[in-house]
Structure 1
Amino acid sequence: MKKVYIYKIFERFWHWAQALLILILMISGFEIHSSFNLLGYGTAVKIHDFAAWAFLVLIIFAIFWHFTTGEWKQYIPTTKYLKAQFDYYVVGIFRGAPHPTKKLVYNKFNPLQRLIYLGLKVLVIPIQVISGFLYLYFHYPIKGLELQSLDLVAVIHTFGAFLLLAFMIAHVYLTTTGYKPMSAIKAMITGWEEMSEEEIKERLVSDIETSILKSRAQLKSTEDYNELFDAAISSVGKKAGITSLADPRFKDAIENSGAGYFFIGKDGIYNDVNETWYKLYKYDSKDEIIGKHYRLSRTEEDFAELEAHVGIVLKTGQIINHGEVKRICKDGSIGYHTLTISPVYKEDKIVGIEGFIIDTTGQLLAERELLKKQIRIDEEFKKRKSKED
């Protein structure tokens, strides 16, 4: 078994902060409900109110993170393998049957998890937040909510609390069904998931195929391009057993696909890049970059983080999805791209790293412009509002 970096820092922070706040809300909430006496009614109410506001702030940040990183796609429901996954949890897991789905960087959740997590995010948690604030502002001295009764709100809020409690119990149990009883929990703490050689191979192929499909979507569709991308994707499937992406037959298929390829030796020197790569860095040919250290395309801060990940890959052979990074182009301009780093083997020894980059500059700049525009609109609205007042 080897380890693969799959859970990012904010993802882990958000997960554990959410779990802690839900636990605090349940303990204080059930005490307010008179289920037991632990903190005292007054203290429980104060803690519950504070945790509710903290939870709302966390939700806002989590929503922003999910949509800016594209992680929201992980929750899109699917019926593919749904029955197989259900059968696995009910019967197969007790018979030592293989897991029906594989965990990949672009597919972290199985079909059953997708449905449950989506239900929590769009139904249970929103209902808890809304019903909770109805409680909080019922007959509030300043701009309170004037409802005839809180009976229905109380039933809904309590029912939602029991659903969350049932989810947490089931969730904790299912975390013990991984490769080792504590491997899933450990992965959510460190970010590193234990995987078999076969799972790592499947993940690598999935990453490359997804990168090629993203590139295809960014380019104008023509018959020539479609044939090129189809050939590249077909090559990914056929090459599932390759030990290096530097295989010339594979490189021929993806040479002009829109995915920038690079190969860097253990000394940090560029040995090879494809045309897409050097054009994204605004070089005129690969000869301008071959023989140079990858430090020249990074700021000091970015280089330190990247160097640490490169060191892990070279030392352990693990595959890392480095996420979105900033690059310094030849002319000094700045660009952004996603980056996957994989080890290159020769005679069972790691001799360097390689991977693919997908340009995200246009998307990032567009998001920033939209944000600036929204800020300007908000400022203008505040000025008008101030003048009206």
Structure 2
Amino acid sequence: MKKVYIYKLFERFWHWSQALFIFILIVTGFEIHSTYNLLGYEAAVKIHNLTAWAFLVLIIFAIFWHFSIGEWRQYIPTTQLIKAQIDYYVLGIFKGASHPTKKLVYNKFNPLQRLIYLGLKILVIPVQVISGFLYLYFNYPIKGFELESLQLVAFFHTFGAFLLFSFIIAHIYLTTTGHKPLSSIKAMVTGWEEMDDETIKERLANDIEIALLKTKAQFKSAKDKSEFLDDALVAAQKNVGAKSSEDFRFRDAISSSGVGYFAISKDGMFSEVNEAWAKLYNYNSPTEIVGKHYRLSRTEEDFHELEKSVEKALQGETIKHGEVKRICKDGSFGYHTLTISPMIRNGKITGVEGFIIDTTDKRLAEKELLKKKISVEAELKKQKVEE
């Protein structure tokens, strides 16, 4: 485990200031509702109002900070890996499973956190601010507001308070689910979080990618420079040895493993295969297969089953198809396991990609063992009859 600087100074200041303001607002708010008597009604109202104004100022500065340095990207919702994240929180976390997502430059939040934080920022906080202002300026026509009753305002403001309180409880619990109970809290205090070598490698690759993409944006008018930076981006990712972007999710992981890689576009045509794939199918080079339909590698019966898996992958699922039979270029047959996943480019599913692992030798060995078993059983049966 090594320490990596992940939370900036203002980010930590904003986080803890927000936590303090929400805590004060909850304590004074419930006292205003006569839940208990701690500060006295008048003092609670005064502190509640002052804290609300301070919180509003903090929100304005936080919005400016998020947009000025690009941190707003953290809250863009995504459905990728959301099922895996739910499974992790429901079961995996109690079985010691690894976390399905990792903290990178623009990926500090997992899919569930993105949805929850975005909901807080565009729904809960605005509701609290608007209903709070209605409380402050109720029945003062000079100020621009006049209502017949506070009942509906009180309902929404109190409901929002309970949502915030529930969020805080869940948030505190989840901070204890790191590799150590207090590691996440400590990271938000110091800015440094402990990560394993694999995560650090992915973060480094992601840092390089973001830096190169930002630089490339400055050279849009110069095509040769843009292409040069594209090559530099690919080289940097490969040198780091980590899968840092969606474009290299499978390909980088198996580039030197001898496993067959393939990519199929939405129209069913092979858009890419690697040397290992071509070799398993007895083709001389990948160029012989690129541009052809994937049905050529299957029997009619096997194709229909594979077609269903491809359709599921195009809907966002990752399919472990198990062992399948392939038709090679020379008409011979082979066997391999098959995994298919959606191919995502710029946030959209553009096809499917996956890998195959040859099991032909294993299948032949099993057949030979079965033949030997049948032969031995027949011999034993013959001897028993003769006796």
Q: TM-score, normalised by structure 2?
A: 0.60
What amino acid is the match of 1:11? E
1:241 Cα offset (Å) = 3.7
1:173 aligns with 2:173: yes
Query: Match of 1:356?
Result: none
Q: Secondary structure at the match of 1:239?
A: helix
1:230 Cα offset (Å) = 3.0
CA contact (8 A) 1:88 1:100 kept: yes
Query: Match of 2:250?
Result: none
The answer to which structure, 1 or 2, has the higher relative contact order (CA under 8 A, 6+ apart) is 1
1:62-119, CA deviations, whole angstroms, 9 ceiling, x for partnerless residues?
A: 1111111111111111111111111111111111111111101222111111111111
1:109 aligns with 2:109: yes
1:287-309, CA deviations, whole angstroms, 9 ceiling, x for partnerless residues?
A: xxxxxxxxxxxxxxxxxxxxxxx
Q: Let me know the Cα RMSD of the aligned residues.
A: 1.6
Query: Match of 2:75?
Result: 75
CA contact (8 A) 2:3 2:194 kept: yes
Query: Match of 1:98?
Result: 98
1:42 aligns with 2:15: no
1:89 aligns with 2:114: no
Query: Match of 2:214?
Result: 214
Identity score, percent:
73
Separation in structure 2 between the aligned mates of residue 163 and residue 212 of structure 1, nearest angstrom: 41
What pairs up with 1:192-231 in 2 under 5 angstroms? 192-220=192-220, 224-231=224-231
Query: Match of 1:138?
Result: 138
1:37-78, CA deviations, whole angstroms, 9 ceiling, x for partnerless residues?
A: 222111111111111111111111111111111111111111
CA contact (8 A) 2:219 2:226 kept: no
1:221 Cα offset (Å) = 5.2
Query: Match of 1:185?
Result: 185
Q: Secondary structure at the match of 2:173?
A: helix
What amino acid is the match of 1:143? K
What amino acid is the match of 1:163? L
CA contact (8 A) 2:176 2:184 kept: yes
What amino acid is the match of 1:134? L
CA contact (8 A) 2:77 2:111 kept: yes
Q: Secondary structure at the match of 2:143?
A: coil
Separation in structure 2 between the aligned mates of residue 144 and residue 28 of structure 1, nearest angstrom: 26
Separation in structure 2 between the aligned mates of residue 86 and residue 236 of structure 1, nearest angstrom: 33
Separation in structure 1 between the aligned mates of residue 116 and residue 140 of structure 2, nearest angstrom: 35
1:149 aligns with 2:145: no
The number of aligned residues is: 242
What amino acid is the match of 2:109? F
1:237-265, CA deviations, whole angstroms, 9 ceiling, x for partnerless residues?
A: 322349xxxxxxxxxxxxxxxxxxxxxxx
1:236 Cα offset (Å) = 2.7
Separation in structure 2 between the aligned mates of residue 241 and residue 67 of structure 1, nearest angstrom: 31
Separation in structure 2 between the aligned mates of residue 226 and residue 143 of structure 1, nearest angstrom: 55
Query: Match of 2:235?
Result: 235
1:340-374, CA deviations, whole angstroms, 9 ceiling, x for partnerless residues?
A: xxxxxxxxxxxxxxxxxxxxxxxxxxxxxxxxxxx
1:168-201, CA deviations, whole angstroms, 9 ceiling, x for partnerless residues?
A: 0000000001121001000100110111111111
Moved more, 33-42 or 113-122: 33-42
Q: Secondary structure at the match of 2:100?
A: coil
What amino acid is the match of 2:177? T
What amino acid is the match of 1:211? A
Separation in structure 1 between the aligned mates of residue 236 and residue 91 of structure 2, nearest angstrom: 34
Q: Secondary structure at the match of 1:179?
A: coil
Separation in structure 2 between the aligned mates of residue 69 and residue 205 of structure 1, nearest angstrom: 20
Separation in structure 2 between the aligned mates of residue 231 and residue 195 of structure 1, nearest angstrom: 29
Query: Match of 1:267?
Result: none
1:15 Cα offset (Å) = 0.4
Separation in structure 1 between the aligned mates of residue 69 and residue 137 of structure 2, nearest angstrom: 34
Query: Match of 2:378?
Result: none
CA contact (8 A) 1:138 1:144 kept: no
CA contact (8 A) 2:31 2:38 kept: yes
1:222 Cα offset (Å) = 5.6
What pairs up with 1:325-336 in 2 under 5 angstroms? none
Separation in structure 1 between the aligned mates of residue 41 and residue 140 of structure 2, nearest angstrom: 19
CA contact (8 A) 2:220 2:226 kept: no
Query: Match of 1:63?
Result: 63
Query: Match of 1:119?
Result: 119
Separation in structure 2 between the aligned mates of residue 39 and residue 80 of structure 1, nearest angstrom: 47
The unaligned stretches of length 5 or more in structure 2 are: 243-387
Separation in structure 2 between the aligned mates of residue 121 and residue 233 of structure 1, nearest angstrom: 34
What amino acid is the match of 1:58? L
CA contact (8 A) 1:106 1:207 kept: no
What amino acid is the match of 1:215? T
Separation in structure 2 between the aligned mates of residue 83 and residue 214 of structure 1, nearest angstrom: 31
**Structure 1: 4+ residue segments shifted above 3 A:** 221-227
Of structures 1 and 2, the larger Rg is shown by 2
1:303-346, CA deviations, whole angstroms, 9 ceiling, x for partnerless residues?
A: xxxxxxxxxxxxxxxxxxxxxxxxxxxxxxxxxxxxxxxxxxxx
1:231 Cα offset (Å) = 2.0
1:226 Cα offset (Å) = 4.6
What amino acid is the match of 1:123? L
1:130 Cα offset (Å) = 0.5
The unaligned stretches of length 5 or more in structure 1 are: 243-389
Separation in structure 1 between the aligned mates of residue 103 and residue 220 of structure 2, nearest angstrom: 32
Q: Secondary structure at the match of 2:36?
A: coil
Separation in structure 2 between the aligned mates of residue 105 and residue 237 of structure 1, nearest angstrom: 15
